[in-house]
Amino acid sequence: MDPDTGQNYSNKRTGRMDPDTVQNYSKKRTRRMDSDTVQNYSNKRTGRIDSNTVQNYSKKRTRRMDPDTVQNYSKKRTEGMDPDTVQNYSNKRTGRMDSDTVQNYSKKRTGRMDPDTVQNYSKKRTGRMDPDTVQN
């Protein structure tokens, strides 16, 4: 028995204990521990870790990352991007966009719109409207 702890030496095994953490060396394995993060090197794999983001390079794939947006180039596809709106041209279709309303001409159909009410003439039917009551 250990007179201090009242434990059997065969249970305590003080020769294998770390006095700082009161852990068994065989469980702690301090030789394989990173003293900064208290993680096991086999879990952390510091050789493959990016110290800035603490991400694994195999997950982050920094070679394919855009450092400004932290997006993957294959997802962002910056060649097809409009730098002003950060939209893909295929989604935005700026050639068919009205720059004032940022609406697609095919949806807006400005040729058939009344610029005063911003209503479609086919819905408004101003020719059949009473201008005093704005009723049909």
Question: Which residues have a Cβ under 8 Å from the Cβ of 15 and sit 6 or more positions away?
Answer: none
Mean pLDDT (the chain, rounded): 53
**pLDDT tens by residue, 74-101:** 554 445 555 555 555 555 444 555 555 5
pTM of structure: 0.11
Strands 49-50 and 39-40: unpaired
For the segment 4-30, the average pLDDT, to the nearest whole number, is 55
| C-alpha separations of 85 from 51, 57, 78, 101 in Å | 32, 30, 12, 14
Look at residue 102 in the predicted model and tell me its pLDDT: 52
At 22, is the pLDDT very low, low, confident or very high (cuts 50, 70, 90)? low
> Which residues face 104 on adjacent strands?
97
d(CA 125, CA 65): 54
